[in-house]
Chain A
Amino acid sequence: MSIPIVDYLVLEPQPHLVAQECTACKAKVFGRHNACPACFNEGFDEYVVPTTGVLKTFTIVQFAAKGIPVPYATGIVNCGGMDVAANITGVDPSPEVITRGLEVQLTTFPLGKDASGVEAIGFGFEPV
């Protein structure tokens, strides 16, 4: 048994992210919304976000919340026109490695099991 860290991460058949796309103006957002922040329309369709993208900007966090290993890299990945906030994983979190314009792809990894043995699955982006 496994469960995604957020409901916009869909694990099957292949891991991917699903955004809410306004049926009127096509604005895309993650998570439940009552109406479109761009045009106020109340209808959304599901939008499958491309699993590859380009790192637009980043930071390497040295001081973080308890339980979060540091340093870690995080940034904004532009996936086919949609910006996605995510950690950059699978590489040394250093400014020599992580640069703007880096081509990356979605990846998932286990984050631990709860008391009933269900595995939490997180996501990040790693260099292609």
Chain B
Amino acid sequence: MSENVWILGIHMTPFGKHADKDVLDLASEAALAAMKDANVTMKDIQILGYGNLMGGTQGQSLQKQIGQTGIPVFNVSNACATGATALRAAIMAIKAGEADYGLAVGVEKLSGAGLLTGNTAGALPENWTPKGRQGAIMPLDGRIGTTGMAGLFAQIGLAYNDSDPRADFELFARIAEKSHSHSTLNPNAAYQNKMTLEQIMNDPMISYPHTRSMCSANCDGAAAAVLVSETKLRTLPLEQQRRAVKVSASIIATDPWTDGNQELADVNTVTRNASRDAYEQAGIGPEDLDLVELHDCFAAAELVHYDNLGLCAPGNAIDFFNTGATWRDGKMPVNVSGGLQSKGHPIAATGIANVWEVATHLRGEAGPRQIEGAKVGLAHVIGLGSTAGVHILEKSGL
């Protein structure tokens, strides 16, 4: 029987612009605060999972700022699932019995980085020479499809449920309206202003049907978690045991072959597989969840993941949203943090920040945005490529 794993301490820096801090300042802030929350120091930590997708720093760079103890570091790079993968690495080490305490850190500085797109511009070559596995003679982005994320997820959303015509611009804008409304209660969100449906729909169009306010917000931020084995946890003071949050499922899955998934990323099957495995590992179902933080990198993504995570009956995500279920006062609150569109999306931090949000509600420490009585929650991320991370968390029964 492998060890159960708990979150003993966790922290998320405010998301937004941190002009006076570099990547290592943000990573240190999150890591030190998570360890303080857990009442441990670097001396206790036996494994570090670290992710900084765009900044090029390593866990070793962080150790040089907060404590060089010689422990193994797993530097991970898994697109937008980087943070969740760093967390998973630390959890696996504890499950395997190789560590009692692990630390996972995700950090990114993206303010002013522009839109989250591929959009790899290319000067045209002087002579056409076929290159690569498709014999391309020039950059293909914009000439055969788009690598821009807003456009990719637009296609994913418009294809929902056999291209259901009700999955349209206004529906996706109403999902973004919810996100921006939720963010008004989150002091850590990069954007905390409410937006009307009209404002959202009249914002500059990035990639139809996604306007700017329907896209994830680039920003700076970090999140970190201290994980502990259940055996060790039971030796700690009762108050710490009460605040600890159980990791009932920790799943990372990649996209299996499905027809056409090399033409348009299939984020649906990978999320379905990850959530199926997570529910099985946790021994609970979606009906038991009190809140969900899912990867709404673009408004259309949120719709498909209602279905992929089993929050609604298959094929029923549009009606499900229209009942108001996913608003914070609904029966299945989704992204009460404001989600990636308003809380922000410092890429490698996101997979731990979502876990922080859920854990903070389970601890009853979410302040004005607290979902009252929350006992079980789910955090989901997608990294294009593709990877899905799903973590199911439970409040301590003590």
Residues from chain B with Cβ under 8 Å of A6 in the complex: 130, 134-137, 140, 144
Q: Does B124 lie within 8 Å of A100, measured CB to CB?
A: no
B155–A59 touching, CB < 8 Å: yes
Contact A58 B158 (CB under 8 A): yes
Pick the residue among A38, A65, A74, A118 that contacts B120 (CB under 8 A): A65
CB distance from A78 to the nearest CB of B (A): 8
Quick check: B145 and A87 within 8 Å, CB to CB? yes
Is B263 within 8 A of A83, CB to CB? Answer: yes
Docked pose: A102 CA to B182 CA in angstroms: 37
**Interface residues in A, total, Cβ within 8 A:** 52
Interface centre among A3, A5, A8, A82, by most B CB within 10 Å? A5
Q: A62-B207, A95-B169 given as contacts; is B142 within 8 A of A7 (CB)?
A: no
Would you call A60 and B262 a contact (CB within 8 A)?
no
Label chain B's interface by main secondary structure: loop
Closest A residue to B136 by CB, please name it: A6
Given A30-B262, A57-B159, A62-B208, residue A5 in contact with residue B140 (CB < 8 A): yes
CB distance from B160 to the nearest CB of A (A): 9
B81 to chain A, nearest CB (A): 20
Looking at the assembled complex, report how far the CB atom of A38 sits from the nearest CB atom of chain B, in whole angstroms: 4
A-B contact count (CB 8 A): 160
Which chain B residue has the least Cβ–Cβ distance from A27? B257
* Interface membership of B260, Cβ < 8 A: yes
Once A57-B155, A76-B159 are accepted as A-B contacts, the answer to whether A31 and B134 lie under 8 Å apart by CB is: yes
Least Cβ distance of A75 to chain B in Å? 6
27 pairs of residues in contact across A and B, judged by CB atoms under 8 Å = A3-B128, A4-B137, A5-B137, A6-B134, A6-B144, A37-B262, A56-B163, A57-B158, A59-B146, A59-B150, A59-B158, A62-B208, A63-B206, A65-B141, A65-B142, A67-B124, A68-B141, A74-B145, A76-B263, A85-B144, A95-B208, A111-B138, A111-B143, A114-B124, A114-B127, A114-B128, A123-B144
- Further 8 A-B residue pairs, CB within 8 A, beyond A5-B137, A65-B139: A4-B137, A6-B134, A8-B134, A56-B163, A64-B142, A95-B169, A100-B165, A111-B138
